[in-house]
A = this chain, B = another copy of it.
Amino acid sequence: MTDSATNTLDAWELEILDLFVGIFETFGLPKSTAMIYGILYCAEEPMLQEEICQKLSISTGSASQGLKLLSTMGAVHKQNVPGQRQSSYKAEYSMRRLLAYVVDAQLRPKLRNGKERLSQIQSEIPKENTHAQQRIHTLMTWQKKADRALPVISTLFGN
């Protein structure tokens, strides 16, 4: 039934890969990376990089880079089993933890950066230019709204 010996995938696994490819696409992440997460999500046991390459028919480079990205995202975990040369990888299944990355590592830095740029721009506009001042001011209120909303968002998906 399951076919862990050969390199073929079950129908339900293919469907789930598709699903993740779609989701990851929304965030602008490459297909190969989505598929790596997907196959690990489906797997019963942690997998080796080599197995991932085989099952998905992707290159060593793709696997290496994809796994690195997924690791820094906290979406997969690298385990070093003593007495085994290769590292093993398993998926993070907690939605809350996955979202924590998106919020903390992606959204927050962008917000902070935006805030700095806005102050910078504002300080460069003469007070007489009320139109420009008004526009910047509106953007700053957007900024503040986002600032207040972010922490609540993680909460919404909590366990």
Bound-complex Cα distance A128 to B2 (A): 12
User: Which residues of the other chain, B, contact A3 by a CB distance below 8 angstroms?
Assistant: none
Is A5's beta carbon under 8 Å from chain B? no
Contact A95/B145 with A12-B136, A16-B135, A135-B16 known, Cβ cut-off 8 Å: yes
A145 touching B157, Cβ below 8 Å: yes
Interface size class of A (residues with CB under 8 A): 35 or more
- In the docked arrangement, what's the CA distance between A149 and B149, Å? 13
A153-B151 Cα distance, complex, nearest whole Å: 11
Contact of A125 with B by CB under 8 A: yes
Distance, CA A124 to CA B11, complexed state (A): 9
Q: A102-121, CB under 8 A of B: which get 1 and which 0? A: 00001000100010011011
Name A residues whose Cβ lies closer than 8 Å to a Cβ of B.
1-2, 10-12, 15-16, 18-19, 22-23, 26, 28, 41-42, 44, 93, 95, 106, 110, 114, 117-118, 120-121, 124-125, 129, 131-132, 135-136, 138-139, 141-142, 145-146, 148-149, 152-153, 156-157
A-B contact pairs, 17 of them (CB 8 A): A12-B121, A12-B136, A15-B117, A15-B120, A16-B139, A19-B114, A23-B114, A26-B28, A41-B135, A42-B132, A95-B142, A95-B145, A145-B156, A148-B156, A149-B156, A152-B152, A153-B153
